[in-house]
Structure 1
Amino acid sequence: MIIKKSPAEIEAMREAGRVSAKVLREVGALIKPGVTTAELDEFAEALIRLEGGIPAFKGYGGFPGSICASVNDQIVHGIPSRKVVLRDGDIISIDTGAIVDGWVGDNAWTYAVGKVSPEKRRLLEVTEQSLWAGLDAARPGNRLGDIGHAVQSVAEAAGFGVVREYVGHGIGRDMHEDPNVPNYGRRHTGVRLEPGMVLAIEPMVNAGTHKTRQMPDGWLVCTRDGRPSAHFEKTVAITEDGPVILTTEEGHRRPV
C-alpha cells in the first residue's frame, strides 16, 4: 500500500532530510586514506544525535551501524569496521539516514579516496548523472518505469551494469514503504506517480556486470566480477510542481 503524504507531512519530513544530508556531507568531508569505516560510523551517530535525530539504520533488522560503508566492489550494506582502513585510490559508498519526529530521511553518496583511477572517476560521474535523471523523472503523471528507464539509460549508455536485486523504495514514517523503485524499466509502465508520494531513489551501478553476490555476514553485497560499484541516493517528494528533494541543506541545494 502506497502511503501518500500531505503537504504538511512533506514539510515535516524536511528536517529528517536535512539532518541526513548534513551527516552524509560531513562524513564525506572526513574521508581520506588511513581513516577506518568505524571512525566514520561513530562520527555519523554522534552528529545525528547532536542534531536531534535517531540513527535510522542502527538496529534496523539487526544492522549494527549508523552508516553503511561499502568500499570498491562492495555495492551496499557494508558494516563499519576498525579493520577496514581506507586507502588512496579506493571509492566508498556511504549510506545513512536519520529519524526526526518519527519521519525518516535516507541518502547515499560515493566518494573518492585520494586519487582514483579514470574508470572509478567515470563510474562516480555517470552514477550521479543517473541519479539526477531518475529524480527528474519523479513527476506527477509519469510512472515508476520512467524513473527506472531514466537511470538505466544513463548508466548503460556508459557501458555500466545496473543492479537488479536491490532497488529504491517509498519512505515516510518507515524507512522502507511501498512502492519498490527499480533502477531499470520501460517508460510508461508501472505505478502512476502522484503528488504526495515520497521516494528514495538510489541507483546502484557497477563498472562491469550487473550481477551481485551476497557475502557470508548476510548484509554485505558485492559485484559478481569484483569490479567497482557506486551508489547514490536522495529522498524526493512528488508534488504538483514537480520533484522536491528532501535530503538537502540550505546552501547545498542543487535543482533537479
Structure 2
Amino acid sequence: MNIPIKNHEEIKKIRIAGNIASNVLHMIKKHVVSGITTAELDNICHKYITKKEKAIPACLGYYGFPKSICISINETVCHGIPNEYTKLKNGDIVNIDVTIIKKKYYADTSKMFIVGNCQDHALQLCQVAKQSLYITFPKIKPGLPLNIIGKTIQNYIKNTPFSIVKEYCGHGIGKNFHEQPHILHYNNFDTSIVLKPGMIFTIEPIINAGTNKVFCMHDNWTIRTKDNNLSAQYEHTILVTHNGCEILTKRKNEKIQKIYVNM
C-alpha cells in the first residue's frame, strides 16, 4: 500500500489549511441557532472560506456535491446537503463538516453543535462521540500498528449504550481529499500497517444512539440511521510526529492538547 509521507513543506501547508478549517467551525458557532436554514449556514461558511480566508471549500463540486459544507442533523449520519427549507429547531444536534483547500493542500474537520436545549441522551451521545475521537490521540505514535486507533475506539464504545458506524472511515489527506490509508473506527485486527512520522490522516468516528445500520437517501449523498435514532460525529486531521501526534485542526478554546508526546 502506497501511504504518502509528508515532508516539512507539505506539513506546513496542511497545517495552514487545518487552521482555516478549524476557524470555520469556530466562526459558525454563533450562527447555529433555532430558525436558521442549513442553506444560510452554508452561505455564511462559503463566504468566510472564500472571502476571509482566500481558500477553497473542497466539498463544493466534489463528485457533484452541490454545497460548500456538509450539515447533518439528528438522525442524519453524514453528508447532509444544506438546503433552503430545512430550519434548525430547539433540541437539534447538528454536525458541520468542513474541508478546506489552501495552496493545493487539504484539511478536514467536523464537530457537533447543540441548538438550544436538547435531551440528556442526545447530549450524552455527542459527548461520547467526541470522547471516542479524543481518546485516540494519546495512543498515536510511530511504530504502533494503525489499527490501534480502531481498537481504542471500539474498546471505549463497547462500554456505552451506543454503536459504531462501520461503513464510513477516516482517510489519508494531503494533496488529495482522500488518500491511503483508510482509518477504521473499529478493530479489524490488521497489524500490517505501521504508523510513521509524516503520515497525515483524519479520524472521524460516527456513533449512533441505536443500531449502527445506515442507508443512503435518494439524493445519493445523505446517509441516515435505519432505525431513525440519533447520530453524532467528531473529526480531526492528525499528523504523526516523531514522538506522538499533532492535531492540525484543533479549534480555539478546544480542551485538548495540540501536540501529544506519547513516547
Q: TM-score range by the shorter chain?
A: over 0.9
Q: Distance in 2 between matches of 1:148 and 1:170?
A: 15
Displacement of 1:11 in angstroms is 1.9
* More displaced 10-residue stretch of structure 1: 37-46 or 241-250: 241-250
Structure-2 residue corresponding to 1:19: 20
Structure 1, unaligned stretches of length 5 or more?
none
How do residues 78-89 of structure 1 correspond to structure 2 at under 5 angstroms? 78-89=80-91
Secondary structure of the 1:157 match is coil
1:151 to 150, 153, 160: 153
1:5 corresponds to which residue?
6
Q: What is the CA-CA distance between 1:153 and the residue it aligns to?
A: 1.9
- Superposed displacement of residue 150, structure 1: 1.1
Equivalence for 2:62: 60
1:182-218 CA-to-partner distances (Å, cap 9, x unmatched) read 1101567241111110011101000111111111110
The amino acid of 2:96's aligned partner reads I
Q: 1:190 to 1:115 in 2, by over 3 A?
A: farther
Name the % identity. 38
**Tell me, what secondary structure is at the counterpart of 1:28?**
helix
In the alignment, structure 1 residue 196 sits paired with structure 2 residue 198: yes
Structure 2 CA distance for partners of 1:116 and 1:65, relative to 1, 3 Å: same
TM superposition shift of 1:152: 1.8
Query: Bigger shift: 26-35 or 78-87?
Result: 26-35
- How big is each residue's C-alpha offset from its partner over 1:131-156, in whole Å with a ceiling of 9 and x where there is no partner? 01123332211222100111122222
1:225 is matched with 227
Q: CA RMSD in A?
A: 1.5
Deviation at 1:25, TM superposition (A): 1.6
SS where residue 237 of structure 2 aligns?
Answer: strand
Q: Which residue of 1 aligns with 2:101?
A: 99
Tell me if 1:109 matches 2:138.
no
Q: Which ranges in structure 2 are unaligned for 5 or more consecutive residues?
A: none
Q: Does the residue aligned with 2:48 lie in a helix, a strand or coil? A: helix
| Structure 1 segments of 4+ aligned residues over 3 angstroms from their partners | 249-253
Distance 1:3 1:121 in 2: 37
TM-score of the superposed pair, with normalisation by structure 1: 0.96
SS of equivalent to 2:135: helix
CA, structure 1 residues 30+213, in 2 after alignment: closer, same or farther (shift >3 Å)?
same
Alignment pair present for 1:142 and 2:144: yes
* Structure 2 contact 26–251 (Cα < 8 Å) conserved: no
Q: Secondary structure at the match of 2:45?
A: helix
CA distance in 1, matches of 2:251, 2:135: 20
Distance 1:33 1:142 in 2: 44
Q: Does the residue aligned with 1:19 lie in a helix, a strand or coil?
A: helix
Is 1:30 matched with 2:25? no
Distance 1:208 1:130 in 2: 16
Q: 2:214 aligns with which of 196, 212, 215?
A: 212
Contact 1:22 1:248 in 2 (8 A): no
